Structure 1
Amino acid sequence: MRLAEHRIGSEYVYLADTARAPFGTKKIEEIRDIALDCVKFLFKKGADVVISACNTAQAALMISNAQPWKNFFGILDIDLPAGLKKVGVLATVATVNSGIYYKKLGDAGVEVIQRPCQELVTAIESFAPDTEIERIVSEAVFPFRKEGVDAIILGCTHFPLVKHIFEKFSGGISVLDPAELLAEKLKKIFPESTDNDVRVTFYVTSDAKIFSEKLKRYSLHLLYTVEEFSWGEVKE
């Protein structure tokens, strides 16, 4: 919840489509349709601005020319630090196959080296031991170090949860969290909230209890509630 940490707004509606996750191994067309459902849901819940916190979802929207442009931002709408010539992107299979980072960064003159790492998504979701996370990360980072990239982009919003492990094995290469970069960008667009009580309503499509346990595990220091619903209950 980087935006909440930066006090951009005081009330958040967060949708986790747990029933249809993971997205990273699905076909682009299916991911696009899921993403559009989620965007519509959030606007119907009264959101003034919708932000896609999922690289895979936004990639599917962008390459399908289906991304909403009004009051919509995504994790791919970031500004990279100046001076980068070659970057490594670690992401889901679907994000890598979409080629969206090649297009976005290639158009800016940055050389892109991509690697899928679906295994890390599963490991983080299942709270795998640090030793297992370290094995996956070290194997994923090694080719980037060999290629001499200037920075490693964590192209899946699961990965920043273990950013400290990436930094441990990066060999001094800068590790970039797109969520942090997006929050910094949006701070320049939206006014800072003066409300000290940031509130979040989490909507999940399955396993609300498990989702709540994950929030506790990551020590989210915000006022929040968790509500479960099914897509069959949502009326057009």
Structure 2
Amino acid sequence: MSVLSQPIGVFDSGYGGLTVLRELVRKLPQYDYVYLGDNARTPYGTRSFDTVYHYTLECVNHLFDKGCRLVILACNTASAKALRNIQQLDLPTLVPGLDGPDRRVLGVIRPTTEVIGHYSTSGHVGILATRGTVTSESYVVEIDKFFPDLQVTQEACPMWVPLVENGEYASPGADYFVNQHIDRLMTKSPAIDTILLACTHYPLLIDKIRQFAPPNTTILSQGGIVADSLADYLNRHPEIEGQCSQHGRRMFLTTDSTEDFDRQATVFYGESVQSVHLTL
């Protein structure tokens, strides 16, 4: 990728953000993208707020160094535990370059919470997420800003990411863990008619989630929602959109094994990739 290019950065603690990138590319294929997976330090979901913030900021700064003016945190844990500090404490300290405006960092939580209430007729929604995202209460707080009357019930699913990353998402062995957490969620609030998959790994489990969720339950994945939100954001911010290079190029970085990343990416991204190792 040319050093003059200014790709859109997409960050995740591992592979899950590739499901978001896939939808970004489908919706906005003209832009250049650079994906950074911090696979060497995943998972983020069980780590403290300070650790997630430190790791995320380090990766965001690397994407800035790659020429990104805009970075998407395609990771719910990073969005929940690090985004606010980065936006409020770190970005204001950056001096704008002579060739463009300040850099921007966006997450996946706000775009989702802005629309989730439109999908529910019962007024009850469920959130399936990692323990870190659930503990942060980010979805509860953000949904209340847009839909204060919406009832939100959360369920942490700590085994789901390991199932996905170990290739067990379609196996009979996954049935127990998927059914267990769907049952727990629905027991807490039987009126739930909309379930949000608030982890970017979970779309790979969507067939099993649909199998065990009550009939006619709406299951929401974040990729398409984030892609629509980014298209709207770029339309409303031409000063940022004009800084994003448009050559349809993709670059993939991983802090761990490129061989492992390329193999997993085929599952998450939907096509083969060739990644480059990054030492932070």
Q: Which residue of 2 aligns with 1:230?
A: 279
1:8: how far off? 4.9
1:218: how far off? 4.5
Question: Is 1:50 paired with 2:71?
Answer: yes
Distance 1:56 1:114, change over 3 A: same
Q: Deviations over 1:20-43 (max 9, x none)?
A: 101011111101111111111111
Q: Give the TM-score taking structure 1 as reference length.
A: 0.87
Give the unaligned 5+ runs of structure 1. Answer: 232-236
1:83: how far off? 5.8
1:165-204 to 2 correspondence within 5 Å? Answer: 165-171=208-214, 172-190=216-234, 198-204=248-254
Q: 2:87 aligns with which of 67, 76, 83?
A: 67
Separation in structure 2 between the aligned mates of residue 96 and residue 219 of structure 1, nearest angstrom: 26
Deviates more, 1:210-219 or 1:97-106: 210-219
Separation in structure 1 between the aligned mates of residue 30 and residue 192 of structure 2, nearest angstrom: 35
Question: Is 1:134 paired with 2:175?
Answer: yes
Separation in structure 2 between the aligned mates of residue 165 and residue 184 of structure 1, nearest angstrom: 26
Q: Does the 8 Å contact 1:144/1:152 carry over to 2? A: no
Q: Deviations over 1:174-194 (max 9, x none)?
A: 11112221111222233699x
Counterpart residue type for residue 82 of structure 2: L
Report the RMSD for the aligned CA atoms in angstroms: 2.3
Q: Give the TM-score taking structure 2 as reference length.
A: 0.74
Distance 1:65 1:218, change over 3 A: closer
Q: Compare the two structures and name the one with the higher helix fraction.
A: 2
Residue identity over aligned pairs, in percent, reads 27
Q: Does the 8 Å contact 2:265/2:271 carry over to 1? A: no
Distance 1:83 1:160, change over 3 A: closer
Separation in structure 2 between the aligned mates of residue 124 and residue 83 of structure 1, nearest angstrom: 26
Q: Does the 8 Å contact 2:31/2:248 carry over to 1? A: yes
Separation in structure 2 between the aligned mates of residue 83 and residue 175 of structure 1, nearest angstrom: 10
Length, aligned pairs only: 227
Counterpart residue type for residue 214 of structure 1: Q
Distance 1:125 1:170, change over 3 A: same
Q: Does the 8 Å contact 1:8/1:187 carry over to 2? A: no
Distance 1:8 1:73, change over 3 A: farther
Q: 2:202 aligns with which of 159, 173, 187?
A: 159
Distance 1:35 1:218, change over 3 A: closer
Q: 1:102 aligns with which of 131, 140, 147?
A: 140
Q: Deviations over 1:157-205 (max 9, x none)?
A: 1001222221222222111112221111222233699x7x733211000
